[in-house]
Amino acid sequence: MNVNRTVLTLDEFTIQSLRQFPHATGELSTLLRDIGLAAKRVNVEVNKAGLVDILGDAGTMNVQGEEVKKLDLFANNQFMGVLQRGISCAGIASEELDDFVAFDDEMSKNSKYVCLFDPLDGSGNIDVNVSIGTIFGIYRRKSPRGTLAAKEDFLQRGLEQVAAGYIVYGSSTMFVYATRRGVNGFTLDPSVGEFCLSHPNIKIPDSGNFYSVNHGNFFQYEDGVKEYIARCQNKTPENGGPYTQRYIGSMVADVHRNLIKGGIFMYPLTKDKPQGKLRLLYECNPFAFIVEVAGGKATDGHQRILEIVPTELHQRSAFFVGSKNMMAELEECLTGGKQVAG
């Protein structure tokens, strides 16, 4: 195989981006490097999942009463560990932990950022060898440097994210992250153990042909969502169709595909989950940020996701995210033509 060794690694890329800002301290690059390191370790375990006894339920429930898999715990500990030992992160909040964790050492207390993450999203798919992922959002802390990170650092609007990203552990492993300047994707080259720039400056197509939604919940959705799904099913070549329904049950994989190829992902409110299923801070905000930077849109059906002021760490939300024109048509169905702000 001819491997192009001139391609930039994740570390090289973040350091090069830094050079464009003479006053930058490098803390964000360090943080991204730490996340990349944890991702590589998680990747190794994910690849071994079928072989060793790490597979299966850890036998406990997470804070939302959901079953926790061993790999969830492993991933959580890896991300928490690298961020704690690093020099840029004052604290973390994770989908797997009841409360945020403020790192209580001098270096961490003097750090600028906090990180919120879902260590292993789509974990229901681990046992069946389907893609899973990690999702993260990075915020500048509000509390003063030199002190312990506080709850206000974590309960910020998604708009305040400095960077957000995800790792998809799939047929290949990819690390995608966004800052306000753009979205870039890196594929893990296992021969050198580095994430290499493979998808520079990702832009989501304005329209696409993929719609991702759990059809099993169809009769629980509000009428506007049902109408939009019916429209998706009735697309013809004359009006941009036909559309294809693709829903893996791992949001990271579903949104990744739609980001690259164009599409829409929906997790609407249901009668069973009237607050929504997905977590605003760990799942919706990072993807809303990434997709907006890439030129798409993200709402809860009524409001721009990034403008929601969170009140709880584990708050849930309805989530609609994707290509601009598809989101516009969805909004037409949800609001009778009125545009969702943002």
31 binds, options Mg ion, ligand AHM, none, Cβ within 5 to 8 A by partner type: none
Q: Which of 100/103 has CB closer to ligand AHM?
A: 100
* All residues at 6 or more sequence positions from 328 whose CB lies less than 8 Å from its CB, including other chains: 297, 339
Per CB under 5 A, residues contacting Mg ion are 118, 121
Q: Which of 45/118 has CB closer to Mg ion?
A: 118
Left (φ > 0), alpha (ψ -120 to 50) or beta: where does 65 sit?
Answer: left
Q: How far is residue 227 from each of residues 55, 140, 201, 327, 335, measured CA to CA in Å?
A: 40, 40, 34, 13, 11
Torsion on CA atoms 153, 108, 14, 158, rounded to nearest 10: -10
Q: Which of 82/251 has CB closer to Mg ion?
A: 251
Shortest spacing between CB 126 and ligand AHM, in angstroms:
9
194 binds, options ligand AHM, Mg ion, none, Cβ within 5 to 8 A by partner type: none
Shortest spacing between CB 121 and Mg ion, in angstroms:
4
3-state DSSP assignment of residue 199: strand
Shortest spacing between CB 229 and ligand AHM, in angstroms:
14
Cis peptide before 242 (omega within 30 of 0): yes
Q: Which of 231/277 has CB closer to Mg ion?
A: 277
Q: Which of 86/276 has CB closer to Mg ion?
A: 276
Q: Which of 86/133 has CB closer to ligand AHM?
A: 133
Shortest spacing between CB 262 and ligand AHM, in angstroms:
18
Report the amino acid identity of residue 70: K
Residue nearest to Mg ion (CB): 121
Report the amino acid identity of residue 159: L
Q: Please provide the distance, in angstroms rounded to a whole number, between the alpha carbons at the two ends of the chain.
A: 46
Shortest spacing between CB 4 and ligand AHM, in angstroms:
32
Query: According to DSSP H, which parts of the chain are helical?
Result: 10-19, 27-48, 70-85, 106-109, 151-154, 223-233, 251-261, 285-293, 324-335
Shortest spacing between CB 77 and ligand AHM, in angstroms:
17
Cα–Cα distance measured from residue 1 to residue 4, given in angstroms and rounded to the nearest whole number? 10
119 binds, options ligand AHM, Mg ion, none, Cβ within 5 to 8 A by partner type: none
Residue nearest to ligand AHM (CB): 251
Shortest spacing between CB 215 and ligand AHM, in angstroms:
9
Per CB under 6 A, residues contacting ligand AHM are 66, 118, 121-124, 214, 249-251, 277
214 binds, options Mg ion, ligand AHM, none, Cβ within 5 to 8 A by partner type: ligand AHM
Q: Which of 27/72 has CB closer to ligand AHM?
A: 72
3-state DSSP assignment of residue 135: strand
Tokens read off for 228: 């939009």
Sign of CA dihedral 252, 168, 118, 107: negative
